[in-house]
Structure 1
Amino acid sequence: MVALAVGGVLLMSAACGDGDGRDKGADAAGPVTSATPATPGAPGGTAATAAPKTSTAVLDVEPKDGARGVAPTALQVSVSHGKLTAVDVTDKDGKPVQGSITADGTGWKPAAALAPGVAYTVNAQAKDAEGLIAAATSAFTTALPGKQVSTDDNIADGHTYGVGMIVKVEFSSGIVNKDAVAKAITFETDNGTEVKGHWFGDNRIDFRPADYWKPNTKVTVHYRLKNVEVAPGVWGDVDKDEPFTIGRSQVTTADAAAHQMTIRRDGKSTTVPATLGDDKHPSWGGTMVIMSKEKVTHMNSQTVGLGDEYDIPDAPHAMRLTTSGTYVHGNYWYKVDLFGKANTSHGCVSLKDVEGGSDTSPAGSFFNSSLIGDVVTVVNTKEKTVSPDNGLGGWNVSWANW
């Protein structure tokens, strides 16, 4: 302890850990205080000091220090008789957790739920009305997920899709916290295209822009579901990024009345004869999207509830349009050339082909020029508009209702 007399006033200066043990009871983390002037007649001739001032701000951190098995949504910091000045939360690797102090300065919450099964540390500070600082710390570990829901979508990293591509995301069990899940799946585009999600039931959400994608758009889907409680006690399973590209523009119109199919690719149109669903089995109306492509597929009427009406083991150049079984495909089995003249199919759009498939046939040419995600719209059919959840039929929902 060093004493210095200035202008008749004795000022006190203390040094930490001076080795004589006299200051070992001092609280190094406590608020800074000032000594009082010397008091005449004080015992031993030393100055009498006033009680140190302590901040009246009272901090509360939840979860408490040492807590384990904490719900990832439990973290919050609050203060009474003061205002928060800083809240720093980091995981075991030092990665900061984003969050914000409330407008009135009395609370703080993270921007999103914490990750399950991770250790976190909280350091919080607040000031009272006199500017005195209070501090609090807490170290805790979040609970491991008791159950996870699996996530599956219809895109692949780095692939190129048509301008009508709709990203379909399906979950292995029902989602309760739909808003949280939708916010945890975001789309980044190189041209600012806005993308929104639409729920079909509790297990599926589809994403698309207001209009068809602009050709050559670069898109990345960001999944951040691991920190999301999708239903009580159930958590998301994936944090990942999936990039894909939109290719050239191809939009096709199949006219059931004219028995023709018009392909408009990058502004140029080609028309080919076709046959669509007959009067008993009219083709779905409205806009559909190519979901998959198969060089050869087995088409059996029993799989679509039509009994024994047909069984074709090797239908060539098949492109699926609906979950219920609508295709654009090649047809080689007609004995009479009915393409462009009549509607004779069981609901599919059929183009002329040969057995085994020919790359130069109308069906083969269309197959080879098409991408998953290309648009096919059926007009002038007697059937109603396809359901928006039958395949990728979401373009039949207005943007206002999406």
Structure 2
Amino acid sequence: MEKRVMTDSKRRKGLMTASALLGGVLVLSACSGGDDGGGKAGASDTGDGASSQAKVDEAAAKKTSEAQIRITPKDGSDNASINNGTAVTVSKGKLTSVTMQTSTGTAVAGQISADKKSWKPTAQLSRATTYKIAAEAADSSGRVAHENASFATVSPANSFIGNFTPEDGSTVGVGMPVSINFDKAITNKAEVQKGISVSSSSGQEVVGHWFNANRLDFRPEDYWTGGSTVTLKLNLDGVEGANGVYGVQQKTVTFKIGRNQVSVVDAATKTMKVMHDGKTIKSIPISAGSPENKTYQGQMVISEKFKETRMDGSTVGFKNDDGKGEYDIKDVPHAMRLSNSGTFIHGNYWGAKSIFGSANTSHGCVGMSDTKGAGDPNTPAAWFYNNSLIGDVVVVKNTGDKTVAPDNGLNGWNLDWAAWKAGSAV
């Protein structure tokens, strides 16, 4: 019995030892599993985590909209266009809401397209302004996507505009060029000229001519065809006119050409013949510049009309020793400008009536008989004023003076066609 007990005791001790050893092996296995044998356990854990993450991702995917919203200009842009550069578009969905406002909270009106795929503002934006856009769209499952952007439009310092004549919707004479004066010097003349087109319903070829870095005029080889329509298109939005200076204009202008009226002033005979389509309809006695103050010769275009205006000699170089003008007439009637330097064709009530048609006595203008106050419609000056348009041509000859400079007023017709075309940058 005792021996059996001892044997059983040894057996139990042996089992305990085996168990301890087995436990040691297990512990050792657990420790070594961090390096090698435990790789299976690590892989099993990772697999379980990936499976769980996949389920999370799948759930998230079910909640994420497929709609993809794009806002232009992109977030953070500056020097953005004020015309056509702003838009919101969506793919794989439809727009449900778009709001746009300035940084100060002023709302900007806009319109979502009929297919709900795009949105644009309905008015021109302001320069040097920060705008914010918030857009929302839904995909085919109704899941919603959002997108936001903030951008700044081009500043006046970094943009240019062209002030043009004639006005939209006006009716002008056959000599009226399209004249554009830019508020910044243009160095990329070719690019700017490519962004401007001038065409006529008459089919006449129209070419641009740069007088300097700020002025670009357009005209055909011969005067415009009477009764035709001329269209000016300014597609300058985003065009770089100089380094870091961009255009902002996107505009179409149309104007009509009136009857063909060209008047010829002959300083030798002291008369002016008013012609329609080359035929004289009226002859008017005139007085041109005196031998000391000759009138420019050449083709001149009426650029402004004043029923009455002040003429002060000091503003055009005619000064007395005291600095005051040799003349200062506050109510010159029926005055029409022919040059920027002060050449006018106008009424004269202060001179002797006998000078008209017989003597040249002016300081360089062309005068016609008139009455004080510009109220009498029957004087020669009143008749000519009432029957003239901005853009009508007045040709002056036989004065003995030089030809007016082509850029002195709207007088580019004094360049022949080859010289005119040579001034084009395109």
Q: TM-score, normalised by structure 1?
A: 0.66
**Which of 266, 276, 291 is residue 277 of structure 2 equivalent to?**
266
Shift of 1:219: 1.2
Distance in 2, Cα, partners of 1:190 & 1:285? 31
Offset at residue 207 of structure 1 (A): 1.0
When the two chains are superposed, the root-mean-square deviation of aligned CA atoms in Å is 2.9
Aligned to 1:363: 381
**What 5-or-longer segments of structure 1 have no aligned partner?**
1-20, 25-65, 73-89, 96-114, 119-139
Distance 2:250 2:314 in 1: 40
Deviation at 1:237, TM superposition (A): 2.2
Aligned pairs for 1:371-382 (under 5 A) are 371-382=389-400
Residue aligning to 1:332:
349
| 1:94 Cα offset (Å) | 6.0
Letter in 2 for 1:200: F
In the other structure, the counterpart of 1:322 is 339
C-alpha distance in structure 2 between counterparts of 1:216 and 1:94, whole Å: 45
User: Corresponding residue for 2:297?
Assistant: 285
Tell me the distance in 1 between the aligned counterparts of 2:400 and 2:386: 30
- Once the two structures are superposed, the pairs formed by residues 39-58 of structure 1 within 5 Å of their partners are none
Which position in structure 1 is the counterpart of 2:288?
276
The CA deviation at 1:92 is 3.4
Unmatched segments (≥5 aa) in structure 2: 1-53, 58-73, 91-124, 132-148, 320-324, 421-426
SS at match of 1:261: strand
Report how many residues are paired: 287
The one of 133, 145, 150 aligned to 2:154: 145
Q: Quick check: 1:205 aligned with 2:216?
A: yes
Query: What is the CA-CA distance between 1:301 and the residue it aligns to?
Result: 0.3
Change (3 A) 1:94 1:252: farther
Indicate if the aligned counterparts of 2:261 and 2:275 stay in contact, CA closer than 8 A: yes
Cα shift at 1:398: 1.0
Q: Counterpart of 2:255?
A: 244
Q: Deviations over 1:46-94 (max 9, x none)?
A: xxxxxxxxxxxxxxxxxxxx8964999xxxxxxxxxxxxxxxxx97356
- Label 1:198 to 1:359 Cα distance change in 2 as closer, same or farther (>3 A): same
What displacement does 1:142 show? Answer: 9.4
* Residue identity opposite 2:181 in structure 1: E
C-alpha separation between the residues in 1 aligned to 2:300 and 2:196? 24
Match of 2:229 among 218, 224, 233: 218
2:367 corresponds to 1:350? yes
Asked if the contact 2:198–2:218 (Cα under 8 Å) also holds between the matched residues in 1, the reply is: no
- 2:262–2:278 CA contact under 8 A, matched in 1: no
1:388 aligned partner, one-letter code: P
Q: Report the secondary structure of 2:179's partner residue.
A: strand
Partners of 1:262 and 1:279 in 2: CA distance: 22
The 8 Å contact of residues 70 and 141 in structure 1, kept in 2 or not, is answered as no
Quickly say closer, same or farther: Cα 1:141–1:186, change in 2 above 3 A: farther
TM-fit CA distance, 1:355: 1.0
Q: Secondary structure at the match of 1:381?
A: coil
Task: Write the distance in 1 (CA, Å) between the matches of 2:268 and 2:327.
Answer: 24
91 and 302 in structure 1: CA distance in 2 versus 1, 3 angstrom threshold: closer
Query: 2:186 matched to which residue of 1?
Result: 175
**Are the equivalent residues in 2 in contact too, given 1:281–1:347 (CA < 8 A)?**
yes
Partners of 1:389 and 1:188 in 2: CA distance: 22
Mapped to 2, the partners of 1:266 and 1:361 lie a distance apart of 24
Residue 313 of structure 2 is matched in structure 1 by 301
Partner of 1:92: 87
Q: Residue 310 of structure 1 corresponds to which residue in structure 2? A: 327
Q: Is the 8 A contact 1:284 1:383 kept in 2?
A: yes
Does the 8 Å contact 2:262/2:393 carry over to 1? yes
Q: Deviations over 1:146-187 (max 9, x none)?
A: 511132112111110000001110011101111111111111
Partner of 1:8: none
Kept in 2: contact 1:151–1:237 (CA 8 A): no
Q: Deviations over 1:376-401 (max 9, x none)?
A: 01111111000000001100011111
Give 2:243's match in structure 1, choosing from 219, 232, 247: 232
Letter in 2 for 1:221: L
Distance 2:161 2:86 in 1: 25
In 1, Cα distance between the equivalents of 2:232 and 2:150? 30
Match of 1:17 in 2: none
Residue equivalent to 2:31:
none
Partners in 1 of 2:306 and 2:345 — Cα distance?
A: 11
Aligned AA for 1:274? I
Q: Which runs of 4+ in 1 moved over 6 A?
A: 115-118, 140-143
1:282/1:184 CA distance change after superposition, 3 Å:
same
Residue 290 of structure 1: how far off its partner (Å): 0.1
> Which whole-Å deviations, capped at 9, do the CAs of 1:13-57 have from their partners, x for residues lacking one?
xxxxxxxx9xx9xxxxxxxxxxxxxxxxxxxxxxxxxxxxxxxxx
Distance 2:314 2:171 in 1: 34
Among candidates 195, 200, 207, match of residue 206 of structure 2? 195
Range moving further from structure 2, 327-336 or 345-354: 327-336
Q: Is the Cα contact below 8 Å between 2:161 and 2:182 reproduced in 1? A: yes
Output the amino acid matched with 1:284. Answer: Y
Aligned to 1:364, the other structure's residue is in SS state helix
Give how far 1:352 is off.
0.7
Paired-residue identity, %? 45
Shift of 1:332: 0.6
1:91 and 1:329 map into 2 onto residues whose CA distance is 51
Between structure 1 and structure 2, the one with the greater Rg is 2
